[in-house]
Chains A and B, each alone.
Chain A
Amino acid sequence: MTSLLLVLLLAQTEHAPQQAGSALLDPVREARVQALGKQLRCPMCQGLSIADSGSSAARAQMDRVRELVAEGKSDDEIRTYFVARYGEWALLEPPAHGFNWLVWLGPAVLLLAGAWIVARMVRRKAPDAVAAPAAPAPAEGSSGDPYLDAVRAELRK
């Protein structure tokens, strides 16, 4: 009775149900739909893929992906379809060409540059490390730290 009341009440409101999404395909093709959906960027929520977003625009695009898969289009053809309409912007993973190489190679270049700098610093420090034991043993009452010694000497005065 309560549920019936609730249904009637909800049906009365201004926010009637939106258009439902299309029916899922067979498991094999639906897996392709979901995999493609994960690669495409939702135009409304931007940070999410259309497979992960619940927005109306993402649902519309998922329905279109499903339809194109059902029509027998290849993954590449479907990606091309979306790029033709929403630009490369629609791809969550930028294709590796032109300016985009910066995104792909930039981190690797920075990592290599960092490794080079660290290697240089270690190599420069190495002679000091060897020289350290050869340094004269600190005098009696010395902490081995010249600054601390200087402070103590000042205090003794």
Chain B
Amino acid sequence: MSRRLLLGVVGVAVLTGVLFFAFARGFGRDPHEVPFMLKGKPAPDFTLTRLDTGQTLTLAQLRGQPVVLNFWASWCGPCKLDHPVLARAARRYQNDARFFAVVFEDTPENARGFAPLDPSFPVLIDPQSRMAVDYGVTGVPETYFIDAQGIIRDKYVGPLVDEVEIARRLKAVSEPLVSGVSR
């Protein structure tokens, strides 16, 4: 009997341990949060057309300065909030970084109707949102911060309406990568 009791206690202990491990793993993360896989990885290159000038632009042309890419759409409500804030930041920090507004799942006509053509915050047309999926975009608005070496350093999901937040991220992206992070 004492052997059976011991076996039972050990069984319950093992089961509790397994459940504890599983729950610790499961509750430690938000199941709705899509992982940000490209952090610290080279930003995928793109060739997009500027809505204002009609010229094509590649990521390689922007090498040497930090780049801020904001994915947005005219049908996206929160984008109405952060677009003007980002446009203001683009003007203020035009010597520190290049800002671009990439159209997500929308037409150039809609984009033209939504955003005033702003030379410091040019709109880029991404046909079929190919480049957005290349970057792992999950929805709009989403803002990516790429450093001067073309490494994706950070991304912000949701409307970026706080200028202090933008400044903080710009500063971080302007500083060299801490060694040990994959290049």
Contact = CB atoms under 8 A, between A and B. Distances in A.
Contacts of A99: 25
A66 B139 CA distance: 19
A156 to B, nearest CB: 43
Nearest to A22: B128
Contacts of A86: 34-35, 37, 136, 138
Interface of A is mostly: helix
A102 interface: yes
A147 to B, nearest CB: 30
Given A16-B113, A18-B107, A87-B34, 8 more contacts: A19-B129, A56-B140, A59-B105, A63-B128, A67-B130, A85-B135, A87-B35, A99-B25
Contacts of B128: 19, 21-22, 60, 63-64, 67
Contacts of B18: 102
Given A43-B138, A46-B32, A60 B110 contact: no
Interface of B is mostly: loop
Minimum-distance CB pairs A-B, first 5: A87-B35, A60-B129, A43-B138, A85-B136, A56-B105
Interface residues of B, number: 31
Interface string B40-78: 000000000000000000000000000000000111000
Nearest to B136: A85
A102 B22 CA distance: 8
Interface bracket on A: 20 to 34
Contact of B133 (A17, A83, A85): A85
A125 to B, nearest CB: 18
Interface centre among A22, A60, A61, A99, by most chain B C-beta atoms within 10 angstroms, is A60
B118 interface: no
Nearest to A103: B22
B100 interface: no
A84 interface: yes
A18 B106 contact: yes
A87 to B, nearest CB: 4
